[in-house]
Structure 1
Amino acid sequence: MPQRKAAGDIKTSSSDSVQKNMHSARAIMKRFSPFYALGAIFMAFSGCSTVTDLITSKIPESHAGKPAIIVSLREQEAYLYRGGYRTASSRVSSGREGYRTPIGRFHVIRKDADHRSSLYGDYIDDSGRIVKANVDSRRDRQPPHSHFVGTPMPYFLEFSPGYGLHQGYLPGVPASHGCIRMPYWKARQFYDAAHIGTPVVVKL
């Protein structure tokens, strides 16, 4: 029969675990300001990706220099560089089948923190009720007494006409109409770091 641990062994193991957690917490407090440290500790115990994005997007960058963005479609990741050093990364969702994200070397040509799609969105009536959702304004007929409202695309960094990085839903697979979706806090971080002319490389 398997041996049962003595109560003393269990207590010692639990105590060791607490001491290790406290040691990690002290290390975090020394490295970051109290605000970020509390968030980092919460992140470590919660495992919440939103909290992770929030905390890591607020950590001061350790390198200076001109920004650059590299997107890997295979990895579904975007990377922010400063002076040749990687300073941040983010999960992304690129274009799905039939709506491929363009590959190549580009530059940021427009920034719009409150951007909305001019093609994809909903038909809404005057009371604000959605009459027809998830439409393509070029193909889907507009119902009577309704108007088109584009899908919000906050922190839009356009790198090719009609294509850009922006905040959006990430289902874990390529799912967009060609743009590169990012979590809110990461989209905001990349948006704040980039400027018109910032290099953007999109690769497989």
Structure 2
Amino acid sequence: MVRNDSLARIVMLLCFGTAILSLTLHWRISASTPKTVKDSSTISTNEPLDFFARQIRYFVSVGKDITKESLPNDLSLKTQAASPQQSEAKRLDASVEKKVVVDLGDRRAYVYRQNTVIASYPIGVGKKGWETPIGTFEVLHMQHYPAWRHPITGKVFAAGPNSPLGERWIGFWSDGHNEIGFHGTPDSDLVGSPVSHGCLRMRNSDVRLLYEQIGLGIPVQVRK
């Protein structure tokens, strides 16, 4: 009988100790839980397993909100960069809007915006044996103060306002070795004459204006 009483007391002490340990552990977890978490969860001291389940569900739901709903617009995964097709379409739109028409008979270059002439400049053209090519091209190369290499002698002329190419270069034709285009000249008196090696000579003041009015990819139509 004494043994049974002692065993019963031991069991009671173990149960009591386990209960105290459980309450202490639960109190520490509750004290260390952020206030926002405690406010958003209904904590029951009689349901510790349900408490932990609620916390797991809460953090999972917060994670979903952050990844799906609360991202600012500038962190969106959608790219704003234009695709190659869009860039090509924009380039074609610009090409349709503006073009340069060279009339070798008039010895003038006309800048068009759609169907309206917005500027016209006198030009020097290619001499006999070095005729300016006829056809439809596009601007390939633009440069401030270009240097020049003579196509026959190979002599290189330094860049500057006194260079044979003047102050600007606008190339629209190339065979991979030589180029033809609009350029300035220090000899403005020769503008309007067939004196070049195929290029279109312009007064420096005019070629500066043309340089600002057009850009790469703009069509250049050369006709007789």
Normalized against structure 2, the TM-score is what?
0.49
Quote the RMSD (CA, aligned, Å). 1.8
In structure 1, runs of 5+ residues without a counterpart are 1-64, 121-135, 139-146
Q: Out of 153, 171, 178, which is 1:137 matched to? A: 153
CA distance in 2, matches of 1:148, 1:89: 31
Distance 1:98 1:66, change over 3 A: same
Residue in structure 2 matching 1:149, options 157, 160, 164: 157
CA distance in 2, matches of 1:165, 1:197: 15
CA deviation string 1:70-112 (max 9, x = no partner): 0000110110111221000011100001111000000000101
Match of 1:68 among 92, 96, 99: 99
* Number of residue pairs aligned between Structure 1 and Structure 2: 117
Q: Which runs of 4+ in 1 moved over 3 A?
A: none
Contact 1:166 1:182 in 2 (8 A): yes
Alignment partner, residue 196 of structure 1? 216
Which structure has more strand as a fraction of its residues?
1
Higher-helix-fraction structure = 2
* Range that drifts further, 192-201 or 110-119: 110-119
Task: Tell me: higher relative CO, structure 1 or 2? Use CA pairs within 8 A at least 6 residues apart.
Answer: 1
1:111-169: CA deviation from partner (whole Å, max 9, x where unpaired): 0111122225xxxxxxxxxxxxxxx324xxxxxxxx74254412111000110011123
Distance 2:168 2:149 in 1: 15
Structure 2: runs of 5 or more not aligned:
1-95
- Give aligned-pair identity as a percent: 29
Q: Does the 8 A contact of 1:114 with 1:152 survive in 2?
A: no
Partner residue of 2:173?
160
1:149 maps to amino acid: F
Cα distance, 1:183 vs structure 2: 1.3
Query: In structure 2, what residue type is equivalent to 1:163?
Result: I
Paired residue for 1:92? 123
Q: Distance in 1 between matches of 2:118 and 2:213?
A: 11
Alignment of 1:10-159 (within 5 A): 66-119=97-150, 136-138=152-154, 148-149=156-157, 151-153=163-165, 154-159=167-172
Secondary structure in structure 2 of the residue aligned to 1:195 = coil
Q: Which has the larger radius of gyration?
A: 2
